[in-house]
Amino acid sequence: MATKTVFTIADYLELDEPDGPHYELSDGELIVSPSTTHNHNEVRDRLANRLRLFSAPARLGVIVCEVDLQLGPATIRRPDVGFIFAARYKREYGEMVPIPIAPDLAFEVVSKHDRPAALKKMLPQYLDVGTKAVWLLYPAKGEAHRHVRGGEPPQVHTRDLIEPALPGFKVPLSELFEI
C-alpha cells in the first residue's frame, strides 16, 4: 500500500514548478495537472475576456486566470478563471502567491484529462469557503454546469452562461466553445 505524502502550504510554496504540469494542493495532497491544450486556453481566454468587458466599466471585480488561491489551511486551487468582487480584493494580492482568499466565482474548463472524482472533490473545497458558484464548462458537450452550495444538482446550461451573482452577464455557449 502506497503512503500519501502530505504537504503544508510552506512545502507547496517551495516547489520548483517545471514548465508543463502545474500543481494544486488538495487537503494537503499534491495534485499534478497536465498541460492544457490550445482549445482549453481559447475557452478560458474567451470567458475571461467577456468577464473583463462586463465588469470593467463599473469596476465590479478582478478576474484571475490560473492563479493560486488559498481555500483553506491545506488547500490551494488554481481555477482556470476566477472572479473576485472588488470589495474583497486588496491591492497587495496582486503580488502574493497564493492569494489568501477564495474566488466569488470559479470556472473550470473540463477536458478529457479531468477525472470526475477529482472534480467532485474540488467542488466543496470552493463552495464551503464562500465561493458563490463553481462552473464546470464542458466544451465537447456544449454544456456549462453551475454548482452552488447545498448539494443540489447542478444547473445545466446548454444555450447561455448566465451568472446571477453578476446581473446582466450572459455569454452564448456557442461563442464560448467556438473552436
Inform me whether the pLDDT recorded for 2 exceeds 60. yes
Q: How far apart, in Å, are the Cα atoms of 8 and each of 44, 71, 72, 125, 126?
A: 29, 13, 11, 16, 18
When pLDDT is cut at 50, 70 and 90, the band that residue 6 belongs to is: confident
Inform me whether the pLDDT recorded for 76 exceeds 90. yes
**Residue ranges of domains in the chain:** 36-176
Mean pLDDT value of segment 39-64: 97
Helix (H, G, I), strand (E, B) or coil at 10: helix
User: What pLDDT does 22 receive?
Assistant: 74
Q: Per residue in 28-39, pLDDT tens?
A: 888 877 778 899
The gap between the terminal CA atoms of the chain, to the nearest Å, is 43
**DSSP state at residue 91:** G
Inform me whether the pLDDT recorded for 46 exceeds 60. yes
Inform me whether the pLDDT recorded for 103 exceeds 90. yes
Q: Residue holding cell 494537503? A: 28
Residue 134: which of 66, 64, 83, 75 has the closest Cα? 83
Q: Per residue in 122-170, pLDDT tens?
A: 999 999 999 999 999 999 999 999 999 987 899 999 999 999 999 999 9
Greater model confidence, 8 or 170 = 170
User: What pLDDT does 18 receive?
Assistant: 55
Q: Which residues of 144-153 are buried (b: 16+ CB within 10 A; e: fewer)?
A: bbbbbbeeee
| Contact indicator for 142, 173 with CB cutoff of 8 Å | yes
User: What pLDDT does 4 receive?
Assistant: 76
Enter the pTM of the model.
0.88
CATH value of 36-176 in 2.40.50.140, 2.60.200.20, 3.90.1570.10, 3.40.50.300: 3.90.1570.10
Q: How far apart, in Å, are the Cα atoms of 10 and each of 3, 28, 54, 126?
A: 20, 11, 36, 21
Percent of the chain whose predicted confidence (pLDDT) is above 90: 72
